[in-house]
Amino acid sequence: MEKDQAVYLADLLGMLESTMYDSKKLETVNGTLPRFHQWTNGKQTLAGYEVTRVDSDTSYYFLFIDWHRNDNYYLVVYLHNKSSTAAELRVIEEIDGIPHIIWKYTPLKRDGKNNQRKAYFKQMFGSTTVQIKIPQTPLEVEGFLNQLFRLCQNRLKADKIVDVFDFEK
């Protein structure tokens, strides 16, 4: 996404007023997020938030970052333990004149079971492509977060499905 789109989304997230979510802004230093994770060190970061869904006590970090240092900004969602990312979102497309973030489930595990993961994701969630409407007002941010949390939880569930079911039989 372009920098102005990332700034817009980061600003909206900063205006969150919700009883469902608690949001804490992370401190950036000279436009970076020091000592967060080795993958973020030194990269231009517009903003970062720790967002917690109050009813489930589930938390993610939302970073608006120049992920590949090429002036193409991402909304990177990190797991709360910072062990990995749950989603890296960068594509914005207009659908019926309304901007949406488009994300595609593309597992890249090296165990030969990615086709099973994709099939599960598609069967359970309708498609491997997720379209999330970008909020137009601060009142729409809660719904935006609902969809992002669902995307992350579905992705994690699909990634682990091969540990739950034995597809070899």
Q: Are 54 and 21 in contact (CB under 8 A)?
A: yes
Residue 112 to residue 167: CA distance in whole angstroms: 11
User: Strand pairing of 45-53 and 21-25?
Assistant: antiparallel
Closest Cα partner for 136 from 1, 3, 15, 2? 15
Q: Are 161 and 145 in contact (CB under 8 A)?
A: no
61, HSE (Cβ side, Cα atoms, 13 Å): 20
28, HSE (Cβ side, Cα atoms, 13 Å): 17
From first to last of its 169 residues, what are the pLDDT tens digits of the chain? Answer: 999 999 999 999 999 999 999 999 999 999 999 999 999 999 999 999 999 999 999 999 999 999 999 999 999 999 999 999 999 999 999 999 999 999 999 999 999 999 999 999 999 889 999 999 999 999 999 999 999 999 999 999 999 988 776 555 5
